[in-house]
Chains A and B, each alone.
Chain A
Amino acid sequence: MSPTVAVILALAVGTYAFRLVGPVLHGRVELSARVQELLSAGAVVLLVALLATGALTEGDGFAGWARPAGVLVGGVLAWRRAPFVVVVLGAAVVTAVLRLAGVA
């Protein structure tokens, strides 16, 4: 089995197992509110770390200015409660335009 197939299989089985927790445990066990809080806080911490490294770094170096500038504009749009599509496309367009203008 190729490593890529193994990753897909492990992710698929593991993720489906997480998703079955509710239907299987329904009416039998209840997660404490504290555990649910910690799970969702952990997910947010991971996602913010992903966005920070994704916005700022490429390999083990700096990603250049165009990408973080685009993400920053996306962040401002999100802060102003712009629709999801506007946030995502806004970030991409700003980065693309900056690169077109010669910013790395």
Chain B
Amino acid sequence: MRTANRTPSSPAVLPEIVRDASLIWLASGIVGVSFGAIAVAGGLPVWVPVVMSLVVYAGSAQFSAVAVLLAGGGPLAATATGLLLNTRTAAYSLAVADILGSGWFSRLAGAHLVTDETVAFALAQQDPLRRRTAFWVSGLGLFAAWNTGVLIGALAGGALGDTDAYGLDAAFPAVLVALTLPAVRKDAAVRRAALLGAVVAVAVTVTPGVPAGVPVLLALVGLALYRRGAAA
């Protein structure tokens, strides 16, 4: 974050934070449009992606839950996949617990804003005041951008026709590439675990008769290599 080394409490803190966070908002808004469009183009009613985005508010879990639903994987697999993906927000919420503020309202409301992007953005700031400002500004802005994007995509989804023609089906895997590449690049143990998990998931997916959602859960066997790698 290029603003991270400025002096604390400068009067220009808020504009700086808004300027950097707006890049995250724009990117997430576009991904939100694709989420809404994919969900509706896949046959779900408009309210499903819109309500889901407001109350679940977790991009990758929403994408995967909708993907499992649209693939006919069933509600249990969709829920399990989404929740497993969101276990990481527990670790995030511990990391930002002292940033949210001390009142119960700010803790309860702030918890809902805990996402990969907002936590990373907040923790990149130098002093506690900036971290708190960054968390709330980027968090509230991201919530607005994501949900607006999803609404636009859901309303346009039907009008877009065949979203495959626009390559939207390649957008979601590409989002995951961008989000996971830093961790995969820097940590060999994570790389081994993820590679094994991906091979298992693809192999199980092309096995006829296996319900959607199961292959991705089975990818967790890749963590066996993570343990061994870390112990070695």
Contact = CB atoms under 8 A, between A and B. Distances in A.
A10, A22, A70, A92 — most chain B CB neighbours (10 Å): A22
Contacts, number: 287
Interface in A48-64: 48-57, 59-63
Contacts of A50: 60, 63-64, 85, 173, 176, 201, 216
A74 B173 contact: yes
Chain B binding site: helix, strand, loop or mixed by DSSP? helix
B30 A85 contact: yes
A70 B176 contact: no
B132 interface: no
A48 B178 CA distance: 10
Nearest to B194: A48
Contacts of B57: 15
Contacts of A89: 30, 171
A84 B65 contact: no
Contacts of A93: 167
B197 interface: yes
Interface of A: 3-4, 6-12, 14-16, 18-23, 25-27, 30-31, 36-57, 59-63, 66-67, 70-71, 74-75, 78-79, 83-85, 87-97, 99-100
